[in-house]
Structure 1
């Protein structure tokens, strides 16, 4: 009988690890969150001494709803910034915060009252504010847990809230700096007004949607045409034609604008249908480029152009309002309407003439101020015409439900009645809407409080300019680094062209404008505003102790004015501050006032979405330039919007929204974080089921890499460690790649380039390690005894483990903690308490890297040749092969000869030669001078390592090769 072959499986160094193939992240991640809270990771990091502070200042989300995918993207990027800088040796602080005041919350409370049939105005203002506060508190608690579930680390126990008493005190204090430095003023200007919310809105609170508007072409009859250069103009009785999409503004018209650089003509209607508004014999003034379109809209059959009309002639023309001498008009419109030059007039659409209502448009207002036009107050806060307006009193422009009222139709019908129209129609165009109520807004002239951006700031902080605009523009170019750089251009152009900042809102839930105005004084009077440091100090003291509600308490006016002023002579302002002023002031009560703020009150980074160039980046810049004299940040990082897989904007109506909670429940937060790291966040990103499947696949490949290392490092100890400079070439090459990658990782994290970091580490892990180094070294790791090459390989694996777990910890916070705890199971241990290990520059070896690249090119030809044999079932494993490899390059051949090439190629034997290459040799077209001829290995199969070698069976242990016999001994 033949002796039975021993089973050598138990003699192999097979990998051992409890690290599972399947991550089970949705169920396991909450346990790690609980563990971090228990061992106090964030607080322990703050205890590390001697570190340079690094502060990312959190742009406050609004406390009024569950998180959407944009929140998840935003907070994850912030977390990666903070964690990576902490691991690069900084004391990286992160204080999360919330915006708690303002219309969205107030709107929800009002809605509650409306549903009960109650009127909010009947509720005492302090009671109403307390309900708003309670609502915000509830959502802060909900969002806090949702953010923590994403693995975001920070001072969650002590976040900042704009409704905290100290915050309200500082916001008021910052406002009063504008009061005292001379930039605050009350003015009457057209602002974007929401009739639904009954308040002025900032540009950041506006979004543009398609809207169907009325269009009308209106005649303004010329009633006086002053002679120009001694020649008769011949324009008396001619009609100037304007075009507008806001018929409701016609009752407020005060002028007609033209552009002196455009070409205008006098047109006569020679043929028109019976009963048409535009009649035969009518004369119209029109821009030449638009005349044909206008007359076509007016259903004119034939017309002639009689002659040119010059800018000089237009400048001397006076028109009548279309409603002049109208029955029951009570003389409201019996005034002259001058023709005025304006650069804003174009001949791209309309008629080349623009009807000008200074109370209802930005360009109109500027032109009106320049020429002393009278402002009107025809539209009141609810979006209706004032009751006393003849013919139209009480008609509504926009209803409280955001729908079109009857004002447009009433005005159009009345103009048709008096023969003022030549055409009417409808047009769908982009129109401003409130981003909260989604209702259209109107331009409306109202008294508001402004911060002047071009007035000298009287505070002595003139290093970067004397006005808010100058300081802001200088900061953008000299003090701030922009990621991406396009953010600089966007904000610069906005600041360059922006008007004065509207600070006031006619609402209840917010920080009030803590100032007093003198009764019977005009806003232009020197003593109109009370500027008194003692009064300000009393307000600040009360707000610190009692919050902003103290402004609304009975007797507040007398309390704050004190004995120095008669309360009967002063008015207390009850408007609240724009919430963008709240969030713009956060640098003062977070960065300046908190121990975990920034030592100099300036943030290292502000990071938000691209919409915040108009929002938080913008308001913070203006606010700080008015109080600090410079920008409150050193770096501004911007991310794009999140779209669905097809590149469409997400919306509930399209059914293409993906909420973070769904992803976390299905895949785990680490998959969501990995999606963030794999995307170029500086542009718009896409997400959807197929994209997430791809992300999960990348995660599995990376997890397998980590699992291999953990298995091979089982029972590794310091006594196994080997000097890197005594290692074989392949190990020294891995260390070279580690040194290269260490620089790339640090530079990438410093530049907030998470896509670059992850791409570099992932390719290294899957291509250099899993597909090459691990593949080559499996045999040594599993089958060698206590050899130097096995100790070298395990030392390298330990070095890789230390780096990969820390390099990836800012991205895959849960998985890298799991990997770390497999080898560091101490109850208080965490990868998030570690720094990136220092990597010796001496590991860099460019010559070795070049040589290994040549070896890998040859290896690729060999493995490709053997794969064909395997597919054709000539062999089952590459260990059955002993290929003959033809290499024409002497340098490459000399490089390979001393190497263990059978290990590199994972064969049992290899023959290297520079003989002429046979015609049937296998080659790859992109690797010149390398060919492979397949040959089977000769000998018997080692029952331990499975190599086929001639010496198998000639050693003390049965059916094994010499290497395995030594290992067994």
Structure 2
């Protein structure tokens, strides 16, 4: 027998913990089994039944797109939503979650077009109804796939009855919402430059635009006067543009009324070049004084002189010749000089080339000058190619629209530059990399294009949609608060809402337009339209004769039937109408809308405008935004970088509860990083919390409520742990309430790991194993552990729903009657009497002393002077009188898990162990004297011989 083994085996007399709850989670295999069980028990229905009569809490789901597998950002989004819903449900609310999907729009159209092309059929050869049927089937397929992927994450909700924007009833509701705007006089058809994707051949809203670097050809172009003002004879006004292709659409040049201009003459050009500059000595140019040097550098001018000031008033009302005058026998019209508030001298020449067909500021400057709308040309067609209103350039494309080079520059710029050169109008050219708008779907650059489109008037001033929306923003709570300023800024400056798209798959713009371009507003007609769409979906609009809608009151030949579809943001902006209002188990407005921070320009805003336009307020009380998922180096995930992590990779390797811990432990209002090391931290935290719960289960083996002890009869340590439990429970629940899941998870996990596993369980292990079952201290320990288990499993359930369910399945029968699932419980309501601040302050100090003792023991173990803490005797020396008084009544052998301990007179020897963070406390560790008890293994003088029993163990065993 080894020297350190007891002579007698008293194992059977110990009260060792026991549980069938496994140490290892095995989550990837176990979680699907639990999901299946939830399905079989009908957990969602039980949750709804259990919550009947409670105050409702509604988080309205922003619809993901029904296209493709989930990415980690979508998984993050849905997990946060599930955390919110579960915490509200367990806080005593009826928190029903109804998921939904956005089903219309371009990405699905593209995939269906691609499928038809694979069968040798072009989109134009497919009947629209057949095409829409295929789009519907495609969306339905992905809804089924995504539903299971969301559920695998542990997201609970009404998955059997989600909302879908493509349901006939939903499409009818969207039509009804749009017609409400029309009846209010807020819908109009306007011809103005809108962002247009030539690759997708549709208009785009601001929410569908993202900005990427793009290399553009830049040009400086001369505009001669028709009749030059006195002193400016022979001079040219010079403009700069990054879009040479817009020159054929030029109709004006804008100047700044507050800028300083000068007349400059070129004296010499550089002669060290391999080419001849376009500028020539003797050229007379009008430029902004702040920019003349930049212009001359670009034009390779080596010498120049300033001849005179040019006052903006000299330019007012003058006319210029078009720089392409005479090209293809065209462009002989006069170009207007107009004042413009948007003109600055920060870049360019101080003059702005103005093509009202292709720029918002250009358009408004043109109209502000009182110039006619019908004089604005349609120079570019839907495919991004010049029309016959750009003579000499017909068919040339701004961007390529097909093939592998779709989105790259077409042949328009080179042809325009060539023509400018031939006409002597080009002064200089260059290249510039700058931020440029791209479609967020095709990733191809877009252009501004003048085309008739349908708009909802946002307006200005009292009673306008803008004013109502701004008021609603002030009445909304924002998490984080900065979201209010962001959304307000966007609404303050946004243009009218462009709602028309030139596609096939979506909700139609169900309007009839008269010869003047005015929409017909008739409630009887609208009612027939809505009913038809409810019965047959979008096809009903396209396939039903106009006469059936118009009835006998109107001559169909006098009306145009609109064939555009609605912007998908209008669809999703209406979700509150056909989900919150249409379902008896939800309420309007929602308590919360929660999406990524990009939705200030998307769903948050479209829902705001839709709700304010039809109901006079936002459809939400609060808005919560989360950040984006980045890799562990803070880079955006992309296939090219090879840093994409799919949610299925995490659930297959670690389990959904680990992914959920990653979410709950992150500051989700900022961008969130993920990587192997970060996930390993989540795994480590999970393992420690699981072991804490496992220990509670095992320590409560055979527990019976009859052994419970009231808090007033418990030892100080147990009352302190109950105080900490009450404190942590409040902190965790406050974090849940404030959507601060990081604070909640930190409080819960640190309590489990530091207060319980590393402290309380350590101290009370000896009591649990060795004291007699009827011992008050042991009964108190088990009573506290029962309360810990009951409370902690509830706090854990929203974050780790699978593990919490597994723990609940292993609850000892003695804890009382259980419900079918832990998720049918509410958070524990702990007695206020558990709180004892004075006791907590006392034990905080005692734990500080204990840290010095355990540090000293660890040092001796590292030096091989003792093998374990029970080999040790503790000598504790405290200089501080108040702290010494606090320590004197404690059993330091039990607290430090040593065999013996004594509180000695201060000061201690210099060789004593000390910690800087706990001044005034010194510890000397020596070997315990006596023999080892064969049952508890403490070394005590009272043990008569090695392996015999100490007095306590004799009493516990009746020996």
* TM-score after normalising by structure 1: 0.95
Aligned match of 1:592? 581
Q: Does 2:761 match 1:774?
A: yes
Residues 705-746 of structure 1 show CA distances to partners (whole Å, capped at 9, x for unaligned) of 111111111111111211112111111111111111122122
SS in structure 2 of the partner of residue 496 of structure 1:
helix
Asked whether the 8 Å contact 1:64–1:139 carries over to 2, the reply is yes
Aligned match of 1:39? 41
Deviation at 1:762, TM superposition (A): 0.9
Asked whether the 8 Å contact 1:922–1:933 carries over to 2, the reply is yes
Residues 564-608 of structure 1 show CA distances to partners (whole Å, capped at 9, x for unaligned) of 21211211111100000000000000000012221xx21111110
Q: Which aligned pairs between 1:287-302 and structure 2 lie closer than 5 A? A: 287-302=288-303
Aligned match of 1:466? 463
Deviation at 1:327, TM superposition (A): 4.5
The 10-residue stretch of structure 1 (904-913 or 189-198) with the greater mean CA deviation from structure 2: 904-913
Q: Which aligned pairs between 1:621-700 and structure 2 lie closer than 5 A? A: 621-700=608-687
SS in structure 2 of the partner of residue 213 of structure 1:
strand
Question: What is the alpha-carbon distance in structure 2 between the residues aligned to residue 107 and residue 597 of structure 1?
Answer: 35
Aligned match of 2:18? 16
Asked whether the 8 Å contact 1:650–1:657 carries over to 2, the reply is yes
Q: Any gaps of 5 or more consecutive residues in structure 2?
A: none
Question: What is the alpha-carbon distance in structure 1 between the residues aligned to residue 847 and residue 680 of structure 2?
Answer: 31
Aligned match of 1:56? 59
Q: Does 2:238 match 1:261?
A: no
The 10-residue stretch of structure 1 (541-550 or 442-451) with the greater mean CA deviation from structure 2: 541-550
The 10-residue stretch of structure 1 (411-420 or 427-436) with the greater mean CA deviation from structure 2: 427-436
Aligned match of 1:482? 478
Q: Does 2:74 match 1:71?
A: yes
Deviation at 1:870, TM superposition (A): 1.0
Deviation at 1:836, TM superposition (A): 0.3
Deviation at 1:123, TM superposition (A): 1.9
Question: What is the alpha-carbon distance in structure 2 between the residues aligned to residue 115 and residue 423 of structure 1?
Answer: 47
Question: What is the alpha-carbon distance in structure 1 between the residues aligned to residue 916 and residue 738 of structure 2?
Answer: 39
How many residue pairs match? The answer is 940
Asked whether the 8 Å contact 2:198–2:382 carries over to 1, the reply is yes
Residues 369-427 of structure 1 show CA distances to partners (whole Å, capped at 9, x for unaligned) of 11134311111111111135321111111222233221111111000010101111222
Instruction: State which of 356, 359, 382 in structure 2 corresponds to 1:358.
Output: 356
The 10-residue stretch of structure 1 (268-277 or 876-885) with the greater mean CA deviation from structure 2: 268-277
Instruction: State which of 501, 510, 514 in structure 2 corresponds to 1:514.
Output: 510
SS in structure 1 of the partner of residue 633 of structure 2:
coil
SS in structure 2 of the partner of residue 612 of structure 1:
helix
CA 1:824–1:417: 2 relative to 1, 3 Å = farther
Deviation at 1:824, TM superposition (A): 6.5
Q: Does 2:427 match 1:422?
A: yes
RMSD: 1.8
Q: Which aligned pairs between 1:295-694 and structure 2 lie closer than 5 A? A: 295-324=296-325, 326-330=326-330, 333-373=331-371, 374-387=375-388, 389-401=390-402, 402-454=407-459, 466-478=463-475, 480-518=476-514, 520-521=515-516, 523=517, 528-555=518-545, 557-598=546-587, 601-694=588-681
Question: What is the alpha-carbon distance in structure 2 between the residues aligned to residue 792 and residue 327 of structure 1?
Answer: 98
Deviation at 1:273, TM superposition (A): 4.4
Question: What is the alpha-carbon distance in structure 1 between the residues aligned to residue 478 and residue 806 of structure 2?
Answer: 35
Instruction: State which of 232, 236, 247 in structure 2 corresponds to 1:235.
Output: 232
Asked whether the 8 Å contact 1:890–1:914 carries over to 2, the reply is no
Residues 888-927 of structure 1 show CA distances to partners (whole Å, capped at 9, x for unaligned) of 2222222222222211111112111343332222211221
Asked whether the 8 Å contact 2:55–2:93 carries over to 1, the reply is yes
Aligned match of 2:778? 790
Aligned match of 2:844? 853
Deviation at 1:867, TM superposition (A): 1.2
Q: Does 2:806 match 1:818?
A: yes
Asked whether the 8 Å contact 2:819–2:825 carries over to 1, the reply is no
Q: Does 2:84 match 1:81?
A: yes
Question: What is the alpha-carbon distance in structure 2 between the residues aligned to residue 42 and residue 263 of structure 1?
Answer: 71
SS in structure 2 of the partner of residue 883 of structure 1:
strand
Deviation at 1:152, TM superposition (A): 0.4
Question: What is the alpha-carbon distance in structure 2 between the residues aligned to residue 701 and residue 288 of structure 1?
Answer: 70
Deviation at 1:131, TM superposition (A): 0.8
Aligned match of 1:204? 207
SS in structure 2 of the partner of residue 925 of structure 1:
coil
Residues 9-46 of structure 1 show CA distances to partners (whole Å, capped at 9, x for unaligned) of 12111111111121111111100000111111111111
Asked whether the 8 Å contact 1:543–1:550 carries over to 2, the reply is yes
Q: Does 2:196 match 1:193?
A: yes
The 10-residue stretch of structure 1 (725-734 or 915-924) with the greater mean CA deviation from structure 2: 915-924
Deviation at 1:695, TM superposition (A): 1.4
Deviation at 1:454, TM superposition (A): 1.2
SS in structure 1 of the partner of residue 308 of structure 2:
strand
The 10-residue stretch of structure 1 (7-16 or 93-102) with the greater mean CA deviation from structure 2: 7-16
Question: What is the alpha-carbon distance in structure 2 between the residues aligned to residue 901 and residue 917 of structure 1?
Answer: 17
Asked whether the 8 Å contact 1:941–1:952 carries over to 2, the reply is yes
Question: What is the alpha-carbon distance in structure 1 between the residues aligned to residue 67 and residue 94 of structure 2?
Answer: 32
Q: Any gaps of 5 or more consecutive residues in structure 1?
A: 227-231, 457-464
Asked whether the 8 Å contact 1:670–1:813 carries over to 2, the reply is yes
Deviation at 1:112, TM superposition (A): 2.1
CA 1:123–1:916: 2 relative to 1, 3 Å = closer
Question: What is the alpha-carbon distance in structure 1 between the residues aligned to residue 327 and residue 491 of structure 2?
Answer: 48
Residues 414-464 of structure 1 show CA distances to partners (whole Å, capped at 9, x for unaligned) of 0001010111122221111111111111100010010001168xxxxxxxx
Runs of 4+ in 1 over 6 A off after TM superposition: 1-4, 824-828
Deviation at 1:961, TM superposition (A): 0.7
Question: What is the alpha-carbon distance in structure 2 between the residues aligned to residue 264 and residue 408 of structure 1?
Answer: 29
Q: Does 2:797 match 1:809?
A: yes
Residues 821-872 of structure 1 show CA distances to partners (whole Å, capped at 9, x for unaligned) of 1117899621111100101122111100110011011111111111111111
Q: Does 2:97 match 1:100?
A: no
Asked whether the 8 Å contact 1:225–1:316 carries over to 2, the reply is no
Asked whether the 8 Å contact 2:506–2:568 carries over to 1, the reply is yes
Q: Does 2:118 match 1:115?
A: yes
* TM-score after normalising by structure 2: 0.96
